[in-house]
A = this chain, B = another copy of it.
Amino acid sequence: MKRKITGTHSDELQPVAGNGLLDRRLFLKSGLTFSAVSIAAAALPQVFAAENRAEEKINLARPPWMLKPGESFSTYGVPSKFESDVVRFPSPNRAVAGNGVSWTPLHRLEGIITPNGLHFERHHNGVPQIDPEHHRLLIHGLVKNPSFFTIDNLLRYPMHSCICFVECGGNSNSGWNKSPSRAEAGYFHGLVSCSEWTGVPLSTVLDEAGMNKKAKWLIAEGADAFAMNVSIPVAEARKEGLLALYQNGERIRPENGYPLRLILPGLEGVLNVKWLRRLKATDKPIMARNETSKYTELLPSGKARMFTFVIEAKSLITSPSANMILKKPGLYQISGLAWSGRGRIRKVEVSADGGKTWAEAQLQEPVLSQAFTRFRIPWRWDGSPAVLKSRATDETGYVQPERNTLIAERGHHGFFHYNAIVTWQVDEDGVVTHSYDKEKSDSNGDISIDSGWE
Contact = CB atoms under 8 A, between A and B. Distances in A.
Contacts of A208: 36, 39-40, 44-45, 48-50
A1 interface: no
B102 A74 contact: yes
Given A50-B153, A70-B129, A79 B251 contact: yes
Nearest to A131: B82
A60 B73 CA distance: 45
A292 interface: no
A149 to B, nearest CB: 5
- What number of copies of this chain does the assembly contain? 2
Contacts of A253: 77-80
A198 interface: yes
A250 B82 contact: no
Query: 4 closest A-B pairs (Cβ-Cβ)?
Result: A70-B126, A50-B147, A65-B128, A75-B87
A160 B128 contact: no
Contacts of A77: 88, 116-119, 253-256
Contacts of A90: 72-75
A140 interface: yes
A211 to B, nearest CB: 10
A201 interface: yes
Contacts of A92: 72-73
B161 A112 contact: yes
Interface residues of A, number: 134
A152 to B, nearest CB: 9
A452 interface: no
18 contacts: A29-B160, A33-B207, A33-B238, A49-B153, A51-B153, A56-B138, A59-B138, A63-B135, A70-B127, A72-B92, A75-B89, A77-B255, A77-B256, A80-B254, A108-B250, A110-B249, A112-B249, A158-B376
A130 to B, nearest CB: 6
Nearest to A207: B36
B51 A69 contact: no
A441 to B, nearest CB: 34
A73 B93 CA distance: 11
A110 B65 contact: no
Nearest to A104: B249
Contacts of A70: 98, 123, 125-129, 224-225
